[in-house]
């Protein structure tokens, strides 16, 4: 199952607001110049899951199944040691994440869940982000300037009870109905 979120048309707004030029910043009597050229926009992160399906805008999966959430390849503007890939899952008072910010971990990421790691009936928020950093030394001794651009894809994930749980609930209700109707039959006789 793959989700693709198209990039909002905001990159053109950023380019128009912050044109390619030098910007001078002043800090307590010191100044630093930051050169802005080109862009660091990444490709859009795409999530893929090994199990489950979409329902009303939420990705549903069986809580009793192991789940793997994977990103696509961070390819546009990816540079070893200046790029970061992160997958975060938050909800129900829990937070899970997997990230890498160097070339040793490759340019894609996966986050694995064992069966029942995520609570049945709960909704979780998933974020997959690609960040590209640009760091250079400044004229202020001991400092660096760091610019970055992050592209994030978000989605809702819901753990649902396994089918056998629904069968058990239906079976208990059926037994209750049969027991109630037998009791009424005896009272009438």
**Domain annotation covers residue 182:** no
Mean pLDDT rounded to a whole number for the chain? 77
Residue 184 counted as domain residue: no
In a domain, 143, yes or no: yes
The model's confidence at residue 35, banded by pLDDT at 50, 70 and 90, is low
| Average pLDDT of span 169-176 | 73
Is 187 within the bounds of a domain? Answer: no
Number of domains present in the structure of the chain = 1
What CATH number did the domain enclosing 17 receive? 2.60.40.10
Count of CB atoms situated within 10 Å of the CB of 132: 21
Average pLDDT over residues 3-30: 66
In a 13 Å sphere around the CA of 110, the CA atoms on its Cβ side amount to: 9
- pLDDT score, position 1: 43
Contact 116, 63 (CB under 8 A): yes
Domain range enclosing 22: 2-162
Which of 63-77, 121-135, 169-183 is predicted least confidently?
169-183
Give a yes or no: residue 167 inside a domain. no
Residue 173 lies in a domain: no
Q: Give a yes or no: residue 134 inside a domain.
A: yes
pTM strictly above 0.75: no
């Amino acid at each position: 199952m793959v989700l693709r979120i198209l990039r909002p048309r905001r990159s053109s707004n950023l380019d128009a607001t912050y044109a390619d030029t030098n910007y001078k910043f002043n800090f307590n009597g010191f100044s630093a110049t930051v050169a802005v050229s080109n862009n660091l926009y990444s490709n859009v992160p795409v999530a893929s899951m090994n199990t489950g399906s979409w329902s009303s805008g939420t990705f549903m999966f069986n809580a009793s199944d192991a789940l793997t959430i994977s990103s696509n390849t961070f390819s546009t503007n990816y540079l070893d040691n200046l790029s970061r890939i992160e997958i975060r899952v938050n909800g129900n008072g829990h937070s899970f994440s997997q990230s890498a910010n160097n070339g040793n971990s490759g340019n894609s990421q996966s986050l694995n869940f064992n069966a029942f790691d995520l609570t049945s009936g709960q909704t979780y928020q998933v974020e997959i982000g690609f960040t590209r950093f640009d760091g250079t030394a400044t004229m202020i001794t001991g400092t660096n300037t760091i610019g970055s651009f992050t592209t994030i894809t978000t989605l809702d994930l819901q753990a649902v009870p396994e089918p056998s749980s629904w069968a058990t609930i239906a079976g208990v209700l059926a037994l209750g109905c049969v027991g109630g109707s037998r009791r009424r039959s005896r009272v009438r006789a």
